[in-house]
Amino acid sequence: MDTLPDFFSKSGTVIHNARNQIRVFDVENKKINVKKFCIPPIVNRILYSLGWRTPKALATYKNAQEILKRGFHTPAPYGYRIERKGGLINYSYFASEQIENMRPIRNGGNDPELIRALAQYTADMHAKGLFHRDFTPGNILYRAENGQYHFSLVDINRFRFFDGPVPARLVKRNLMQPFYYDDPLRDFVREYAKITQWKGDLENAVLRNRHLRNQYDLLKRQLKKLPGAYILLDKRFKK
């Protein structure tokens, strides 16, 4: 892993190029996915460097191990590398298996069978104490095989684990994330409530939270260019 930064910059196929970059490499007839995390903002950079927060590459590596340990799927973790410059964390890298035969659920449309399967999968996750803080359409991969749906979790650096079931307040936050539109989200939440025998009006609670979050995201975008405003809003939401 020590040579990964140099190797990354000179080879591989770019499959994602935004704030972070992802490249796929062919190594001994095996495809390796490597994610290069951008240099953190200065405040986070200091916190990561002092060990007060876990760097994203290391968090992803540890979370992947725990997810697999608890019986759920995520690309197998191979290793990570963290660069430092002037004593501060610079770029970091996470290497894992490349998943070829799955696609994100955002490509699944409004498929009732997929929605039911995902509701069951999510209920199982929550029962086992898994809380994906970015449980969004691009971070849930799936494939249909012999009438069964199989799922895999990606972009897992922001994850929490509980010894028991995920608390109800976090369940409601999680359920508003997997679908962009209200109609499939309603069907998803109804299925989840049925599976878990949820007491109370879960559907309206989740939709209300979703609409409030959408308004909050809009406010963040409007204030993002004001000095300090984005950081304050982000911290408020993460409490």
Question: Looking at residue 125, which CATH number applies to its domain?
Answer: 1.10.510
136 exposure class (CB count in 10 Å sphere: 0-12, 13-18, 19+):
middle
d(CA 227, CA 126): 38
C-alpha neighbours within 13 Å on the C-beta side of residue 123:
17
For residue 238, give Cα distances in angstroms to 34, 53, 96, 134, 165. 27, 14, 27, 12, 20
pLDDT digits (tens, 9 = 90+) for 134-193: 999 999 999 999 889 999 999 999 999 999 999 999 999 999 999 988 899 999 999 999
Please indicate, yes or no, whether residues 133 and 191 belong to a single structural domain of this protein.
Answer: yes
pTM for the whole structure: 0.86
d(CA 123, CA 192): 6
Pull the structure tokens for residue 26: 């062919």
Strand partners, 82: 92
CA 162 to chain centre: 17
CB 152 within 8 A of CB 102: yes
pLDDT digits (tens, 9 = 90+) for 55-114: 999 999 999 999 999 999 999 999 999 999 988 999 999 999 999 999 999 876 679 999
Provide the domain count of the chain: 2
d(CA 175, CA 178): 7
Please indicate, yes or no, whether residues 117 and 212 belong to a single structural domain of this protein.
Answer: yes
Please indicate, yes or no, whether residues 11 and 88 belong to a single structural domain of this protein.
Answer: yes
Please indicate, yes or no, whether residues 199 and 119 belong to a single structural domain of this protein.
Answer: yes
User: What is the H or E stretch that residue 68 is in?
Assistant: helix 56-69
d(CA 52, CA 47): 5
Domain of residue 149, residue span: 103-219
Please indicate, yes or no, whether residues 215 and 189 belong to a single structural domain of this protein.
Answer: yes
Helix (H/G/I), strand (E/B), else coil: 15: strand
Please indicate, yes or no, whether residues 92 and 27 belong to a single structural domain of this protein.
Answer: yes
